[in-house]
């Protein structure tokens, strides 16, 4: 006599076009539901079996939890028995967050963060030299090079970007006798009422000293920095009151460029953290920038015909016209020359400015005329400045017609701070590694050469990375890169990523329901996909696949064919 727990039994299924059918599905097998499009395959697999599994799961939760999930409608059927916890892996891209990448969805990027934080080798982002620890004297010498008369605060960081009310920290500062602290960038008296939202991240720094840089202050500066380093666990912040800020560390500093880094921690390698995200694009990898091709849409036009769309026909009797006339005399170009025939240097100057180069400019109007020496900021920087400074939505909207979403020039699309990109493993930073294809990544990590100490530290992390990369290769995704945005994935790619993630979870006793996983796969990869499904089955799971693919049907342990037609002519079990 068969054990009733060896099968899933559905009785009287009438969801959508299903015609009161009874179906028995063996457990711990690879089962394929096939049939014409519209014959009821998805109605049985997703809208009946999976929907009932989800409904029962929600019913098992407390009434408090259920109020957030809402009521789920019971599928139209008489009964279902032997149902396992069900996981649906459909062909749709669920990612809507522009911050999600293949690396974050698969959690491989999280292991990269751990790896680089523990065995990464920091380098100066300016000169590329290895970063070493800074001494107190070196920090003092650097500060003494600031402009005489510079007003500054010397701060000791205690809390950096951590959630909590931090009452005990504030009280400890008060007991130590300090008079001022800086909370989230605002300097406050220690006697002020300080109430922090425990659900938000905060940064708390002790104001060690306030001073003006001048002669004979070396001793006081040294004592203050020593105290700040002691209280701040090796970190000191020098805040120039002109809104410039410098972080110095006893732990890491470039001997040439005086660039400091704090101790390597995983959050420094996360573009979803303010401590790792590129400050220019906030960790998105791209942002709205003025597009040169939209500034000069018709390169056959001359300046007098309005080649630079944002400036219009030039020269005219306005400020820009006067500047451009002066530019034409200085760089020797003609307003009637088509844009495409202007020298490259002239085009660069018109679009991006003269930089530090000054030239003679003449301006004449009804109210004022004169000559002075100055520079030209360029059409593109001019628009970007006006875009960031204006409070007028109309002006912003007008400027946006010349802008497009472009890779961030600050991080080259890697989403991370330049300091973070200075940390390497085998001469590759985390951005370069994330830009490699999964196939190349697997080769890179399989041949990674480490010292014995590095191997001991990173062995378990590398094992997880290699496993996940292998799972992605086995489901036919070897061509993807980990830095690819999740919103650009096709439904089939997103489905196979979720499948690879489920393989890595090593769950047992689960009913997996998949929607045509072979679509878009190269025949070479189809066997890998089938082997993946079989490996899920072999560790004790039931696999239910809606599929048309011949190879998948032939590889199945059990086949259910619905039909005979589509729509109202389907909904019956024909095999």
What confidence tens digit (pLDDT) does each residue in 27-36 have? 999 999 999 9
Residue 174 makes CB contacts below 8 A (sequence gap 6+) with 190, 191
**Mean pLDDT taken over the chain:** 88
The answer to whether residues 194 and 159 touch, using CB atoms and an 8 Å cutoff, is no
Token digits of residue 573: 């079990």
pTM greater than 0.75: no
121-263 folds as: Ribulose 1,5 Bisphosphate Carboxylase/Oxygenase (3.30.190)
Residues in the chain: 575
DSSP assignment, residue 365?
Answer: -
Token digits of residue 197: 């939202």
Predicted confidence (pLDDT) per residue in 257-289, tens digit: 767 788 889 999 999 998 999 988 889 998 888
Predicted confidence (pLDDT) per residue in 151-208, tens digit: 999 999 998 888 888 888 888 888 888 999 999 888 999 888 888 888 888 899 999 9
Q: Is pLDDT at 330 greater than 50 in this prediction?
A: yes
Across the range 400-412, mean pLDDT stands at 88
Q: Is pLDDT at 1 greater than 50 in this prediction?
A: no
Pick the range with the lowest mean pLDDT from 10-14, 49-53, 530-534. 530-534
Q: In angstroms, rounded to a whole number, what is the distance separating the alpha carbons of residues 63 and 69?
A: 10
Partners of 152 in the beta sheet?
Answer: 211, 240
Pick the range with the lowest mean pLDDT from 37-51, 276-290, 365-379, 395-409. 365-379
Q: Is pLDDT at 66 greater than 90 in this prediction?
A: no
The answer to whether residues 529 and 517 touch, using CB atoms and an 8 Å cutoff, is yes
The answer to whether residues 448 and 480 touch, using CB atoms and an 8 Å cutoff, is no
Q: Is pLDDT at 4 greater than 60 in this prediction?
A: no
Residue 572 makes CB contacts below 8 A (sequence gap 6+) with 19, 21, 562, 563, 564
290-404 folds as: Helicase, Ruva Protein; domain 3 (1.10.8)
Each domain of the chain, given as residue ranges in start order, spans: 4-91+492-499+508-573, 121-263, 290-404
Q: How many CA atoms lie within 13 A of 175 on its CB side?
A: 6
Q: Is pLDDT at 364 greater than 60 in this prediction?
A: yes
The answer to whether residues 458 and 417 touch, using CB atoms and an 8 Å cutoff, is no
DSSP assignment, residue 333?
Answer: -
Token digits of residue 331: 């760089």
4-91+492-499+508-573 folds as: Rossmann fold (3.40.50)
Residue 187 makes CB contacts below 8 A (sequence gap 6+) with 153, 180, 181, 207
Distances (CA, A) of 347 to 324, 344, 350, 380: 12, 5, 5, 12
Whether 290-404 and 121-263 are alike in CATH topology: the answer is: no
Q: In angstroms, rounded to a whole number, what is the distance separating the alpha carbons of residues 267 and 217?
A: 37
- Look-up of token digits 């994935």: 489
**Torsion sign (Cα): 226, 229, 232, 233:** negative
Q: Where are the alpha helices (DSSP H) in 132-231?
A: 136-144, 167-175, 218-231
Helix (H, G, I), strand (E, B) or coil at 283: coil
Q: What is the pLDDT of residue 441?
A: 96
Q: Is pLDDT at 366 greater than 70 in this prediction?
A: no
Q: How far is CA 540 from the centre of its chain?
A: 35
Token digits of residue 120: 């990464």
The answer to whether residues 156 and 236 touch, using CB atoms and an 8 Å cutoff, is yes
CA angle, residues 460, 466, 467, in degrees to nearest 5: 90
Partners of 207 in the beta sheet?
Answer: 155
Q: From 397, 549, 504, select the one nearest 105 (Cα to Cα).
A: 504
Helix (H, G, I), strand (E, B) or coil at 425: strand
Across the range 553-563, mean pLDDT stands at 92
Across the range 302-329, mean pLDDT stands at 82
Distances (CA, A) of 243 to 150, 327, 414, 419, 453: 11, 34, 27, 20, 42
Q: In angstroms, rounded to a whole number, what is the distance separating the alpha carbons of residues 106 and 104?
A: 5
The pLDDT confidence band at residue 2, using thresholds 50, 70 and 90, is very low
Strands of 572-573's sheet, edge to edge? 86-89, 511-515, 542-546, 30-35, 558-563, 572-573
DSSP assignment, residue 481?
Answer: B
Predicted confidence (pLDDT) per residue in 69-81, tens digit: 777 789 999 999 9
The pLDDT confidence band at residue 490, using thresholds 50, 70 and 90, is confident
The pLDDT confidence band at residue 429, using thresholds 50, 70 and 90, is very high
């Amino acid at each position: 006599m068969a054990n009733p727990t060896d099968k899933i039994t559905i009785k009287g299924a009438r969801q959508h076009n299903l015609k009161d059918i009874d179906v028995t599905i063996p457990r711990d097998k690879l089962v394929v539901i096939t049939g014409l499009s519209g014959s009821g395959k998805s109605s049985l697999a997703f809208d009946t079996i999976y929907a009932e599994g989800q409904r029962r799961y929600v019913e098992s939760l407390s009434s408090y939890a259920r109020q957030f999930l809402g009521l789920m409608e019971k599928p139209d059927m008489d009964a279902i028995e032997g149902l396992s916890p069900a996981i649906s892996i459909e062909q749709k891209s669920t990612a809507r967050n522009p911050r999600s990448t293949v690396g974050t969805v698969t959690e491989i990027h999280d292991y990269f963060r751990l790896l680089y934080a523990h065995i990464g080798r920091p380098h100066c982002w300016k000169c590329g030299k290895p970063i070493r620890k800074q001494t107190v004297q070196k920090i003092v010498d650097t500060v003494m090079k600031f402009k005489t008369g510079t007003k500054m605060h010397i701060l000791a960081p205690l809390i950096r970007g951590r959630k909590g009310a931090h009452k005990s920290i504030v009280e400890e500062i008060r007991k130590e006798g300090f008079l001022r602290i800086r909370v989230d960038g605002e300097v406050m008296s220690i006697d002020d009422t300080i109430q922090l939202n425990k659900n938000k991240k905060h940064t708390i720094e002790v104001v060690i000293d306030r001073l003006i840089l001048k002669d004979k202050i070396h001793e006081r500066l040294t004592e203050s920095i020593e105290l700040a380093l002691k209280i701040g666990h090796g970190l000191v912040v020098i805040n120039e009151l002109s809104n410039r800020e410098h972080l110095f560390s006893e732990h890491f500093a470039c001997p040439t460029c005086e660039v400091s880094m704090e101790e390597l921690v995983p959050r420094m390698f996360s573009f979803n953290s303010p401590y790792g995200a590129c400050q220019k694009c906030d960790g998105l990898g791209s942002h709205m920038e003025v597009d040169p091709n939209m500034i000069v849409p018709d390169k056959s036009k001359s300046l007098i015909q309005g080649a630079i769309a944002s400036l219009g026909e030039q020269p005219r009797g306005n400020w820009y016209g006067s500047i451009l006339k002066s530019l034409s005399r200085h760089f020797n170009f003609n307003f009637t020359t088509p844009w495409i025939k202007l020298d490259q240097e002239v085009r660069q100057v018109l679009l991006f400015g003269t930089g530090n180069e000054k030239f003679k400019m003449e301006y004449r109007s009804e109210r004022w005329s004169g000559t002075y020496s100055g520079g030209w900021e360029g059409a593109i920087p001019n628009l970007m400045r006006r875009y960031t400074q204006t409070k007028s939505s109309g002006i912003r909207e007008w400027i946006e017609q010349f802008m497009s979403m472009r890779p961030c020039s600050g991080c080259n699309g890697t989403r991370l701070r330049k300091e973070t990109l200075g940390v390497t493993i085998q001469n590759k930073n985390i951005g370069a590694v994330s830009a490699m294809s999964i196939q190349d990544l697997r080769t890179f990590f399989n041949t990674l050469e480490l010292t014995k100490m590095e191997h001991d530290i990173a062995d378990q992390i590398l094992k997880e990375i290699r496993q996940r990369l292998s799972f992605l290769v086995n489901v036919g995704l070897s061509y993807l890169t980990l830095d690819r945005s999740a919103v650009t994935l096709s439904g089939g790619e997103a489905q196979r990523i979720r499948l690879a993630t489920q393989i890595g979870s090593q769950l047992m006793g689960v009913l997996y329901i998949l929607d045509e996983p072979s679509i878009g796969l190269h025949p070479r990869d189809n066997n890998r996909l089938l082997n993946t499904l079989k490996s899920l089955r072999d560790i004790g799971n039931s696999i239910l696949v809606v599929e048309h693919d011949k190879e998948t049907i032939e590889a199945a342990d059990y086949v259910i064919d619905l039909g005979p037609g589509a729509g109202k002519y389907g909904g019956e079990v024909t095999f």
